[in-house]
Structure 1
């Protein structure tokens, strides 16, 4: 099932193949996309797919008048993931998600990602259940407009930020096509933003190419785009073989909406 281009899932080409409480399957195109800060091939789209396919499993387990909110996303990436994606440019990354354990006020879903039959990542998403909020906006059923451009910066409405310090920054401009049904930046989009700045920070500090190995995201509050909204990263450690960056997404109100830790290896 393809989605309209003026939705977050449609913007990044996500397609859902199976949709149920016990198993969800979805795909995303990932080959040829690069980090706007480094110019290197990026695995950031994997975070978008994980947020969707795992979040969908948790969402399908909701009760009457319940809604889901993602609270944690954990992504473990194989060392050869970027190579496997680049080696099969016409193939989409496939995510297969299933529930892990029983549903309480919180649920956990796990998934495995592969491309052309080659496993490239595993991931989990925790979601908690709330009373379905009033005024939910249904995503449009038909596409309007066109894609802004093939590069990731255009697709995500990002621009490089100036800090004058050690942090690496990307500004998140307002784009309604990136918002979820409650009018805030989609969790998969914001997780991608954190991967981009985190990996760029490690590579800049090391002055070498490092591969993202893991991304662990905590969703603290809704992330609103607009004036001043941005992703930023600083390094906690960079050695000859590994690096760790601390990242955060800051809303237009100046408050941290997401925080994450990224680990990368040479």
Structure 2
């Protein structure tokens, strides 16, 4: 099922073929995508797919008066994932998500990511349940079709920001299509941007082979709103010859950190 182009999922070409509390199967086109800061191939779209596939499983387990909000996202991926995708860039990455454990005030879902017959990674999303806001409305209906043209950065509405030293930053410009149903930037969009800035930070000034993402761990702390002051900032924690660890933050208009992430990468 292709999603309307006036939704975050439609903007990035996500299609859902199975949608239920026991299983969700969805795909995203990831070939030819590059990091907005480095121009290197990126696996960032996998984070968007994980947020959707695992988050949807948790969402379908809700009671009638509940809604879900992501609190944690974890992705473990083959460092060769970008190269594997590049071998058949027209083929999407497919996520198969399933519930794990008992639903209480929170729920956990896990998924496997595959490209053709190759497993690229595993991931989890933990969601907590809130009472459904009284004014919550569904997305309006709209046309469906192929993913809109433009770069990944164009679709994310991010642009390179000035940053000092080895830090790397992106501004999150406002775009209502990128918001979720409660009016904040979709968690999958933020997850992609956090991967980009952290990866760029640990590869800043690197002359050797680039360090490639192997794990991404995200905590959603508070709502993140887009705007001229909203940004993602990545900084290196430790960078060696064959591995590196970086951190990233999504910082909202008031200067408060809304989301934090840690990325580990290997040559």
TM-score band by shorter chain is over 0.9
Taking the aligned partners of 2:52 and 2:147, their CA distance within structure 1 comes to 20
In structure 1, the partner of 2:150 is 150
Taking the aligned partners of 1:8 and 1:33, their CA distance within structure 2 comes to 17
The aligned runs of 1:205-224 (5 Å cut-off) are 205-208=205-208, 209-224=210-225
Taking the aligned partners of 2:148 and 2:108, their CA distance within structure 1 comes to 34
Checking the alignment, whether the CA contact within 8 Å between 1:53 and 1:96 is kept in structure 2 is yes
When residues 205 and 215 of structure 1 are mapped into structure 2, their CA distance, relative to the original with a 3 A threshold, is farther
How many aligned residue pairs are there? 266
Taking the aligned partners of 2:37 and 2:163, their CA distance within structure 1 comes to 14
Counterpart secondary structure, 1:9: helix
Counterpart secondary structure, 2:204: helix
In structure 2, the partner of 1:139 is 139
**CA-atom RMSD in angstroms:** 1.6
Q: Which runs of 5+ in 1 are unaligned?
A: none
* Post-superposition offset of 1:149: 3.8
What are the Cα deviations for residues 229-266 of structure 1, in whole angstroms up to 9, with x where unaligned? 00001100000010000100011121111000000101
Checking the alignment, whether the CA contact within 8 Å between 1:21 and 1:61 is kept in structure 2 is yes
TM-score by length of 2: 0.96
* Post-superposition offset of 1:147: 6.8
The aligned runs of 1:157-168 (5 Å cut-off) are 157-168=157-168
Taking the aligned partners of 1:148 and 1:122, their CA distance within structure 2 comes to 28
In structure 1, the partner of 2:237 is 236
When residues 148 and 160 of structure 1 are mapped into structure 2, their CA distance, relative to the original with a 3 A threshold, is farther
Checking the alignment, whether the CA contact within 8 Å between 1:220 and 1:258 is kept in structure 2 is yes
The aligned runs of 1:57-72 (5 Å cut-off) are 57-72=57-72
In structure 1, the partner of 2:100 is 100
Checking the alignment, whether the CA contact within 8 Å between 1:205 and 1:235 is kept in structure 2 is no
TM-score by length of 1: 0.97
Taking the aligned partners of 2:237 and 2:23, their CA distance within structure 1 comes to 37
In structure 2, the partner of 1:199 is 199
* Post-superposition offset of 1:212: 0.3
Taking the aligned partners of 2:165 and 2:203, their CA distance within structure 1 comes to 16
Counterpart secondary structure, 1:46: helix
Taking the aligned partners of 1:147 and 1:90, their CA distance within structure 2 comes to 12
- Alignment partner of 1:21 is 2:21: yes
In structure 1, the partner of 2:179 is 179
* Post-superposition offset of 1:121: 1.0
* Post-superposition offset of 1:148: 6.3
Counterpart secondary structure, 2:55: helix
Q: Which 4+ runs in 1 deviate beyond 3 A?
A: 146-149, 205-208
Checking the alignment, whether the CA contact within 8 Å between 2:10 and 2:147 is kept in structure 1 is no
Checking the alignment, whether the CA contact within 8 Å between 2:30 and 2:92 is kept in structure 1 is yes
Taking the aligned partners of 1:81 and 1:166, their CA distance within structure 2 comes to 25
The 10-residue stretch of structure 1 (240-249 or 80-89) with the greater mean CA deviation from structure 2: 80-89
Taking the aligned partners of 1:259 and 1:159, their CA distance within structure 2 comes to 19
Taking the aligned partners of 1:63 and 1:139, their CA distance within structure 2 comes to 20
In structure 2, the partner of 1:251 is 252
